[in-house]
Amino acid sequence: MNHSIKPIIFQTILFTVMSSSLSVVMASSLPSGDEISQHINARNDGVQVSRTLTMELIDRRGKTRVRETQGFRKYFGNEKRTVIHYLKPRNVKGTAFLTYDYPEANRDDDQWLYLPALRKVRRISASDRGDYFLGTDFTYEDIKKENKVSIDDYRRETLREEMLDGFRSYVVESIPVNDKTAKELGYSKVLQWVDADIWIVRKSKFWDIQGNLLKTTNIKDIRQIQGIWTVHRMEVVNHKTSHKTNFTFSNVNYETEVSDDSFTERSLRRGL
């Protein structure tokens, strides 16, 4: 009996050691999480863009609310300014959101919200970036980052390479750098499938502060527009509430000039 067990144990140990070594070799051949993040953030997304964004908000019973918006984004050096105007339906028409995203890690963004019922532009805190954006399942941070990532908020590790829907992807695990950041973001862990060729996140899974799976985002219909890889469809499911949000981008244009004046308090009040 002992004779027969010993070789099995030996083989098992040998296999485990070899597998571990192979994993180490494979992992070391993968780009690091930070390198992948830098590739994602270095991806060309145009100096400016204008686009129509249709939001579908679907509750657990399937009741769907649809919002049509027009958005503009422009880089001013390393500073990114984004504005979203709500066009439909009537009950949210005129609502507009403006954000100035600064490159300095220690500088809070500036954000404004125009509510037509008050006819007033309201300064809003940028620290509530984990709050959900106007009834969607995307947070203010998700909206602001636009498929890019915050380098300073997370520690990252590349777990493996795998095929996702036929695309070679790196699976990156991101953990917030500290509890305060985790609370601000609303996530304790994020798993991302990053396309290894075009450096776009194709899928993300988010865990809440308690460590429960919170939501899953799938990025679809990625096409080149005017030479720039562009996401046209984002689907997110909140596993806690069973609420879903689908974003569909259309009329994407990187070449039409977007006026600097589009990113002012005046333009929020004026609307489109």
Partner 1 sequence: MIRLQNVRCVVVCSYLLLVLGLSLPMLTLAKEQSFTDAMETSLVVSSEVAVDKDEVQKSEILVIPEIEIDLPMQSKLTGIARIRADADKSIDPDDQTDVELRELYLQTDIGRSLWTLGKQQVVWGKADGLKVLDVVNPRDFREFILDDFDNARIPLWMVNAEIPIEDVTLQLLWIPDQTYHKFASTKGLYAFRSSTLVPTVPADVVVDLQNPTEPDHRFGDADWGFRLSSFWKGWDLSANYLYHYSDTPVLFRELSTTPTGVKATMTPRYERSHLIGGTFSNAFGDLTLRGELGYSTDRYISTNDATDSDGIVKNNELAYVMGLDWYGFSDSLVSLQFFQTRLSQNKKQMIRDGLDSTLTLLLKRVFLNDTLSSEILWLHNIDMGDGLLRPKVSYDLNDEIQLWLGVDVFYGDDDGLFGQFTERDRFVSGIEISL
With CB under 8 A as the contact rule, the residue among 32, 35, 57, 161 that binds partner 1 is: 57
The least distance separating partner 1 from the CB of residue 63, rounded to whole angstroms, comes to: 7
> Should residue 137 be labelled a site residue for partner 1 when binding is judged by CB under 8 A?
yes
Selected range binding partner 1 among 161-169, 171-179, 229-237, 261-269, rule: CB under 8 A: 261-269
Check: CB of residue 249 under 8 Å from CB of residue 232. yes
Half-sphere exposure of 261 (CA within 13 A, CB side): 6
> Should residue 123 be labelled a site residue for partner 1 when binding is judged by CB under 8 A?
yes
The least distance separating partner 1 from the CB of residue 236, rounded to whole angstroms, comes to: 12
> Should residue 117 be labelled a site residue for partner 1 when binding is judged by CB under 8 A?
yes
> Should residue 136 be labelled a site residue for partner 1 when binding is judged by CB under 8 A?
yes
Check: CB of residue 213 under 8 Å from CB of residue 189. no
Structure token digits, residue 81: 């300014």
Q: What are phi and psi of 119, to 5 degrees?
A: 55, 40
With CB under 8 A as the contact rule, the residue among 59, 165, 179, 197 that binds partner 1 is: 59
Contacts 24+ apart (CB under 8 A), 60-67: 60/241, 60/242, 60/243, 65/89, 65/135, 67/92
With CB under 8 A as the contact rule, the residue among 66, 151, 163, 213 that binds partner 1 is: 66
- Which residues bind to partner 1, rule: CB under 8 A? 57, 59, 63, 65-66, 89-93, 108, 110-111, 117-120, 123-128, 130-132, 134-137, 186, 241, 243, 261, 264-266, 270
